[in-house]
Amino acid sequence: MKAVIFDQFGGPEVLQYRDVPDPVAGSGEVVIQVRACSVNRTLDLEVREKGYFGVKLPHISGEDPAGIVVQVGPGVSEVKPGDRVVINPMLWCDECRPCRRGQENGCLGIRVFGVHTHGGYAEYTKVPARQLIPVPSALSFPEAAALPLSYAVAWNLLVPLGQVSPQDVVLIQAAGSGLGVAGVQIAKLKGARVIAAAGSDEKIERARALGADFVVNYAKADLPQEVKRLTDGWGADLVFENIGASMWERSVACLARGGRLVTCGTHGGSQVSIDIRALYRNCVALLFSLGATRQDYAEVFRLAGAGQLKAVIDRTFPLREARAAQEYLAGRKNFGKVILTP
Ligand SMILES: [Zn+2]
């Protein structure tokens, strides 16, 4: 089969489109014919460049492919050939204390499909059957592949962690990113008022079209000042951060008294300074998470199947153009997900 594989860490030029052996389903595994696979910044681009998470070479990226089951290994009863499925990339141990409590995102033995295994930048991929989620009939394969990481993680941050409610004004940072697009939709679905912030006029207009009540271009405007102005001087009750150092100070300054900030991202750097006194005087909560739980994945696909969450796809590239797709994502021109189709 054809796959996009790299033998060394480095820039996008290390990606090679070439023949590799076909996967064979072992016990409890299935082989999927990949129809769509999303491109993710941290797990694809940063892993390829810096070899994060102990990834082994050669490596095939791609965490959340969607496709058709074509082969089932011994002991698989969950699915059969012909089923439309998408992969939940979180390979939880299901035995540790967080897993037993339904807090799988805290799993002590977590591995990630497409990072610690070969992934979906390929015509076929194999995966444990228990990682499969049925694709609702209303969704295309690219739509299904756009959902797992961004939407389940955004759901985890805003709903169980951030406790978003109709009383909240929610500031969604980087509203044009995969996570941000999901964040705008989920916060609106939960009845909150949404301020979407992004770094270009084009992105903020698209965020408005997604349902954001207010938009701010943080490349032009003073973001904390604008957020205060839009909230009668109060600030945002919930800040969906996910950028890190380059935006941290401004994100914290946007918080209302008693506000919460949720984050799981540091593309803008991970070292920040914190004024403890200012935070406790404002009764502010800083909340951190990683990934999503099984329940988060189930909720997202239930709502997407019912048309209440909509996958936003910026652009689709053929698999052989994975390098161009990654360069496009690296240029931050996208609004929503970038998808590869074998
Ligand atoms: Zn576990």
Report the separation in Å between the CA atom of 98 and the middle of ligand 1, taken as the mean of its atom positions. 6
Say yes or no to pLDDT of 327 above 90. Answer: yes
- What separation in Å is there between the alpha carbon of 180 and the centre of ligand 1? 28
How high is the mean pLDDT of the chain? 95
The single-letter DSSP state of residue 124 is: E
109: tokens are 């033995």
Q: Does residue 222 share a domain with residue 129?
A: no
Taking only the tens place, the pLDDT of each residue in 39-52 is: 998 899 999 999 98
Q: Where do we find the tokens 């380059």?
A: 246
Strand partners, 76: none
Within a domain: residue 305? no
- pLDDT tens-digit profile of 100-120? 999 999 999 999 999 999 999
User: Residue range 149-153: average pLDDT?
Assistant: 91
Neighbouring-strand partners of residue 5: 16
Q: Distance from the CA of 100 to the center of ligand 1, in angstroms?
A: 7
Burial 124-133 (b: 16+ CB within 10 A, else e): bbbbbbbbbb
- Looking at the structure of the chain, the number of domains it has is 2
Ligand 1 centroid vs 116 CA: distance in angstroms? 15
Please give the C-alpha separations between residue 47 and each of 37, 92, 194, 291, 326, in angstroms, as whole numbers.
16, 20, 32, 16, 12
- Percentage of residues in the chain having pLDDT higher than 90: 94
Element (H, E) at 36: strand 29-39
**What pLDDT is stored for residue 122 in this prediction?**
98
CB 65 within 8 A of CB 145: yes
Same domain, 117 and 159: no
Give the pairing of strands 84-87 and 169-172. unpaired
Same domain flag for 169 and 230: yes
Region 209-217: mean pLDDT is: 96
DSSP symbols for 278-335: HHHHTT-EEEE--S--HHHHHHHHHHHHTTSS---EEEEEEGGGHHHHHHHHHTT--S
Ligand 1 centroid to 225 CA: how many Å?
43
35 with 91, same domain?
yes
110/237 same-domain check: no
CATH of the domain at 168: 3.40.50.720
Residue 102 and residue 10 share a domain: yes
**242: domain range?**
151-288
First vs last Cα of the chain: how many Å apart? 10
| 252 and 184 both lie in a single domain | yes
Q: Which residues line ion ligand 1, judged by CB < 5 Å?
A: 92-93, 96, 99, 107
The 10s digit of each residue's pLDDT in 17-76 is 999 999 999 999 999 999 999 999 889 999 999 998 999 999 999 999 999 999 999 999
Confirm whether 295 is domain-assigned: no
Ligand 1 centroid, distance to 155 Cα (angstroms) = 20
pLDDT at 292: 94
Residue 278 is predicted with a pLDDT of 94
User: Would you state the pLDDT for residue 114?
Assistant: 97
pLDDT at 267: 86
CATH number at residue 317: 3.90.180.10
pLDDT value of position 149? 86
Q: Is 6 among the domain residues?
A: yes
Question: How remote is the CA of residue 88 from the centroid of ligand 1, in Å?
Answer: 15
CA of 280 to the centre of ligand 1 (A): 33
Nearest Cα neighbor of 12 from 336, 321, 333 is 321
Residue 341, beta-bridge partner list: 318
Ligand 1 centre to CA of 111 (Å) is 10
Taking the centre of ligand 1 as the mean of its atom positions, its distance from the CA of residue 5, in whole angstroms, is 29
The DSSP 8-state label assigned to residue 292 in this structure reads: -
> Same structural domain for residues 15 and 129?
yes
State whether 97 and 228 are in the same domain.
no
Residues 15 and 138 in one domain: yes
Report, as an integer, the average pLDDT of 309-328: 96
Q: Is 335 a residue whose pLDDT tops 90?
A: no
What is the 160 CA–ligand 1 centroid distance (Å)? 19
Mean pLDDT of all residues in 183-191: 98
Q: How far is the CA of 292 from the centre of ligand 1 (A)?
A: 13
Task: State yes or no: pLDDT of 265 exceeds 90.
Answer: no
Distance 287 CA to ligand 1 centre (A): 21
Q: Hey, what are 44's tokens?
A: 């694809």
Rounded Cα distance between 317 and 50, Å, is 24
Q: How many whole angstroms from 291 Cα to the centroid of ligand 1? A: 13
